[in-house]
Amino acid sequence: MRKTILWLFAIALVSRAIIALLQITYGIDNQVNLDWYLYGAFNPGFELYHDFYGYYVVQLANLSKGLIPYKDFGYSYPPLFLYLLYPFFKLGGQHLASIPIWLADAVTAPVIYLIVKHIVSEKIAIFAGLSYAISPFFLLYEGYLWYSSQPMTLFLLFALYFLLVKRPMIASIMIGVAILLKQEVIFILPIFFVWTAIYYRKDLLRGMSVIGAMVASVSIPFLLLAPRLYISDLSYGLYPAYPSGSSATNATSDPSTTASLATTSLSCQTFSDTWRSLVCNFGTFTYTDIKHTPGLSVLFSPAFLNSISLWLGIPLVCIICYYLFIFRHNFNGSILIISSATAMTIFVAIFDVEIHSIYRYYLVPVYALILISSYDRNSLLLAVFTPIVSLFLPSGSIQLIPPLACIIWILIASYNKEIAREKSESPNVLAGPPVFEMKVSS
C-alpha cells in the first residue's frame, strides 16, 4: 500500500509541476491580447479566471506591507488560506506562492485512494486515485490556475477518511482546518455531526468543541479589529458591512494596495468595461474579470440552458433526498460521502442564486467527493468523465446538472445492484434497503 501511495503522489505531483511550469512560462499572466489574457490558448468556453494573480497575489503583497485582511483590504475567505500561501510568497514571490495549492492537489490523489480502498476494493481505489491525478478538470483548475478550492478539499477528504477509520477527534481537527481554509465546508457540518452522533456519541461534544475553538481562536483577532468587515467578507457580501448608502469601504486609499474587487468602487488608473470583460489598471497590476464566458454548445444557447437548469435541479435534489432517506438505516461510508457531495452541490446552487453566476471551480470538492463514492467500475467511469464533460458546457447554472445526475445514477445503480444480490441469495425474501460493504479497520 505504501508503494501505491507514493507512486500515485508522484504521478499527481509531476503532472501538476509540469502544468504549473507551462502556466508560468506561457500562461494567463504572460498574455497581452485580451482574449488570450482571459482565456489563454484554450477554447473560450473554459473559465480561465485571473484570480490567483488578480486577488491572491495582490492580497499577499498587501500582507507583506503590514496591512491586515478585512480591516485594510477585502478578502473573501477565512484567514488560513492567505496565511498558508504567505511564507512561500515571502520566500520566492508570486509563483512560489502557488506551491501549497497544487501540492495539496497532488496529495489529494493518494487520499482518494485510501478512502476508496477502505470502502470497496484495492483495484477500484487505484483507478480512482489515478483518475484524480491525471484528470483534465483538476489539472486545469488546481494545477494550472491555482484556485482556492485546494487545499480545503484535501482537509475535507482527510476529515472524512478519519471518520471512516474511527478517529473522530482527528477528523474534527481536519474539518476545523478545512473551514478555516474556505467557509463553504460548513454545509457539510450537519452531516459530519450526525455521523459522529451515530457512531461516536461520546466524542460528539468534544469534536464540536474542538471545531468551535479552532474557528474562534483564528477568527477572534479579526473580529476584534473589524467585526463588520470580517462577517461581510466571509458571507460573500450577503451581510453588508455598512448600511445602504454609506461611503465606507474596506479598500485602502492607495490604489496600488487595493486588493478587493468585491467593493463597488474601484480605484483604477485606467478602466474599460465591455460586454464581455472588465479591465482595471492599478499601475503595475492589471485586473481582468470575465462578465460573460461564451459556451461551446451549438445546440442550445447558454441563456436557455441556464434558465432551465435550476428548475431541473430541484427534482434531481428531491430524488437524491428520497434515496438518502431509504438508506438512512445503512448510514455507512458511501452514504456519508454522497451526502457530503450533495451538500456541497447545494452550496454551489445557493452561490449561483444569491451571489454570482457559478464559478466552475467551486465544483472541485463536489467532483472529488463523487469520485470517492465510486463502488464499482461503472460508477468510477461515470465519476471520471462527468467533470470532463462539464468543461464543455456553458458557464452558469447548467453546471449543477452533471454532478446531481451523477449522484443519482450512483445511488440508483447501487440500490438496484443490492436488490438483485439479495434476491439471488434469498429469492423468497423481500429486499430491503441496500447495504454497502465497508471494510472496518482494526
Cis peptide before 294 (omega within 30 of 0): no
pLDDT in tens, the chain (442 residues): 889 999 999 999 999 999 998 888 876 655 444 444 444 444 445 667 778 887 898 899 999 999 999 988 888 899 999 999 999 999 988 899 999 999 999 999 999 999 999 888 889 999 999 999 999 999 999 998 899 999 999 999 999 999 999 999 999 999 999 999 999 999 999 999 999 998 899 999 999 999 999 999 999 999 999 888 899 889 887 776 655 444 444 433 333 333 333 333 345 555 555 544 455 554 444 454 544 444 443 344 566 777 788 888 899 999 998 888 887 766 567 888 999 999 999 999 988 888 877 778 899 999 999 999 887 888 899 999 999 988 888 778 889 999 999 999 988 877 777 676 667 766 554 444 444 444 444 3
Domain that holds residue 357: 2-226+295-421
Residue 433 belongs to some domain of the structure:
no
Residue 432 belongs to some domain of the structure:
no
Q: What is the rounded distance in angstroms from the CA atom of residue 101 to the CA atom of residue 152?
A: 9
What are the residues facing 272 on neighbouring strands?
Answer: 279
Q: What is the pLDDT of residue 245?
A: 44
Listing from the earlier edge strand, what are the strands of the sheet with 286-290? 270-273, 277-281, 286-290
Q: What is the pLDDT of residue 298?
A: 36
Q: What is the rounded distance in angstroms from the CA atom of residue 241 to the CA atom of residue 4?
A: 49
Maximum C-alpha span of the chain: 78
Cis peptide before 151 (omega within 30 of 0): yes
pTM: predicted TM-score of the whole model, two decimal places: 0.83
Q: What is the pLDDT of residue 249?
A: 41
3-state DSSP call for residue 27?
coil
Residue 95 belongs to some domain of the structure:
yes
Q: Count other C-beta atoms under 10 Å from residue 428's C-beta.
A: 5
Q: Tell me, what DSSP letter sits at residue 30? A: G
Q: What is the pLDDT of residue 354?
A: 80
Grid cell listed for 73: 483590504
Residue 89 belongs to some domain of the structure:
yes
Q: Residues 99, 361, 81, CA angle at the centre, nearest 5°?
A: 40
> At residue 240, what is the residue type?
P
Q: What is the rounded distance in angstroms from the CA atom of residue 189 to the CA atom of residue 108?
A: 20
Residue 7 belongs to some domain of the structure:
yes
Q: What is the rounded distance in angstroms from the CA atom of residue 150 to the CA atom of residue 157?
A: 11
DSSP H helical segments within 97-167, as ranges?
Answer: 99-119, 122-134, 136-138, 152-164
Tell me if 75 sits within 8 A of 59, measured CB to CB. yes
Q: What is the rounded distance in angstroms from the CA atom of residue 47 to the CA atom of residue 42?
A: 9
Residue 437 belongs to some domain of the structure:
no
Q: What is the pLDDT of residue 251?
A: 38
Q: Count other C-beta atoms under 10 Å from residue 200's C-beta.
A: 18
Tell me if 52 sits within 8 A of 147, measured CB to CB. yes
Q: What is the pLDDT of residue 268?
A: 55
Q: What is the rounded distance in angstroms from the CA atom of residue 277 to the CA atom of residue 283?
A: 19
Residue 402 belongs to some domain of the structure:
yes
Q: How many structural domains are present in the chain?
A: 1
